[in-house]
Amino acid sequence: MRLKDKVALVTGSAAGIGLATARKFAQEGAVVVLCDRDAQALESAAQSLHAPGVTVVAYTVDVTDRAQIDAMVADVKHRFGRIDVLVNNAGITKDAKLLRMTEQQFDDVIDVNLKAVFNFTQAVAAVMLEQESGAILNASSVVGLYGNYGQTNYAASKFGVIGFTKTWARELGPKGIRVNAVCPGFIETDILKSIPEKVLQGFRDHCWLRRMGKPEEVANVYAFLASDEASFINGTTLEVSGGLTI
Ligand code: NAD
C-alpha cells in the first residue's frame, strides 16, 4: 500500500497505460481520480476499478480545454482537500512524413501531448504548492529521446515533455514537489493500432527482450515514482523499453 490515502489524478485513464496505472494506484491504496474525453470508456474503466475500500471518481474532460481542467481540479480539491499525484498520461498520435504532415495534424498532437500537460500541471501545481508536497509524472516516450520516422509532431511533443520535466523539477523541487518523466518503448495498447503488423514485428525484433511491453509494466514504474520510495528522484527521465535503444 505504497500510495495509501494519496489522491492521485491520471489523465487519459479510460484505456491503455492510463487505466493500468489507475488500477495499480488503486491496489496501492490511492484515491484514484480518472479523467478522459471518452465518456463511455471512462464509465466502464471506473466500473472495473470499483472494489471494497477503493475510492474512484471519474471526470469526462478533454485535456485540450483549459476551462474543463480548471473546473475538474477545483472539484477534486473541494472533494478531497488535496492532490498528491498527477500523471500527465493522455496522448495521441497523428503520423505523417514531414512534407505530408498537415498543420492540423501538427497542432492536434501538440495540443494534447504538450499544451495540455502545461495546462494540467499549472492547475494542479497550484494545489501542490499550497500543501508543499506532490509528485508529477509526465508521459514522454523513447521517441522523445531519439525521434522517429513519420512522427515530427509526436517527437516534438515528447521531447518538450522532457523539457517541462527538467524545468519544473528545478522550479517545484525546492517546494517539496518532485517531477519526473517516463519514456516507454512500444507498449501493447490502442495507440499502436494503426501500425502495420510488419512494423510491430520490427519493434519486437529490435527490443532486447524480443517483445513489446504491457501497460502494467509502465504502471509499475509510475507507482514507484509516485511513492515515497522514490523520495530522492527528481527531474529524471526513466526509460521503460526492454532495452530497445541500447
Ligand atoms: P491509448 O490510446 O491506449 O490511451 C490514451 C487515452 O488518452 C485514451 O483513453 C484516450 O481517450 C485519452 N485521450 C486522448 N486524447 C485525450 C484528450 N484530448 N482528453 C482526454 N483524454 C484523451 O494510449 P497509451 O498507449 O495508453 O498511451 C498513454 C501515454 O503513453 C501517451 O502519452 C503515449 O504517448 C505514451 N506512450 C505510449 C507508448 C505505447 O507504445 N503505447 C509508448 C510511449 C509513450
Confidence grade of residue 184 (pLDDT, cut at 50, 70, 90): very high
* Mean pLDDT along residues 81-103: 98
Q: Does 14 reside within a domain?
A: yes
Pick the residue whose CA is nearest to atom 41 on ligand 1: 187
Q: Residue count of the chain, please give it.
A: 246
Report which protein residue has its CA nearest ligand 1's atom 33. 91
- List the catalytic residues: 154
Rounded-to-integer distance, Cα 206 and Cα 142, Å: 13
Look at residue 176 in the predicted model and tell me its pLDDT: 98
Ligand 1 atom index nearest CA of 140: 44
Q: Which residue has cell 532495452?
A: 243
Domain containing residue 165: 7-238
Residue-wise pLDDT for 102-142, tens only, equals 999 999 999 999 999 999 999 999 999 999 999 999 999 99
For residue 99, is pLDDT > 90?
yes
CA dist., res. 144 & res. 98, Å (int) = 17
In the prediction, which pLDDT does 233 show? 98
What is the tally of structural domains in the chain?
A: 1
Pocket lining for ligand 1, CB < 6 angstroms: 12, 14-18, 36-38, 41, 62-64, 89-92, 112, 139, 141, 184, 186-187, 189-192
**How far, in whole angstroms, is CA 35 from its chain's centroid?**
11
Going by alpha carbons, the residue nearest to atom 3 of ligand 1 is: 16
Q: Measured in angstroms, how far is the CA atom of residue 174 from the centroid of ligand 1?
A: 30
Does 77 map to a domain?
yes
For residue 194, pLDDT over 90 is answered with: no
Domain membership flag for residue 81 = yes
Rounded distance from Cα 19 to ligand 1 centre (Å): 10
Atom of ligand 1 nearest to the CA of 90: 7
| Residue pLDDT, tens place only, 17-32 | 999 999 999 999 999 9
Instruction: For residue 51, give the CATH number of its domain.
Output: 3.40.50.720
Count of C-beta atoms within a 10 Å radius of residue 77: 18
Q: Give me the percent of the chain exceeding a pLDDT of 70.
A: 100
Distance 91 CA to ligand 1 centre (A): 4
Query: Does 62 reside within a domain?
Result: yes
Q: Which atom of ligand 1 is nearest to the CA of 116?
A: 18
Q: Is residue 245 part of a domain?
A: no
How many angstroms separate the CA atoms of 151 and 109, rounded?
Answer: 10
Q: Whose CA is nearest to atom 44 of ligand 1?
A: 141
Residue 184 maps to a domain: yes
- Encode burial over 205-241: b for 16+ CB neighbours within 10 A, e otherwise: eebeeeebbebebbbebbbebbbeebeeebbbbbbbb
Q: Evaluate whether residue 172 is within a structural domain.
A: yes
pLDDT (tens digit, 9 = 90+) per residue, 155-174? 999 999 999 999 999 999 99
Is 232 domain-assigned? yes
CA of 193 to the centre of ligand 1 (A): 12
Is the per-residue pLDDT at 148 higher than 90? yes
Whole-number pLDDT of residue 127: 98
Per residue in 64-85, pLDDT (tens digit) is 999 999 999 999 999 999 999 9
The Cα 236–Cα 127 span in angstroms is 22
Any residues with CB less than 8 A from the CB of 47 and at least 6 apart, and which? none
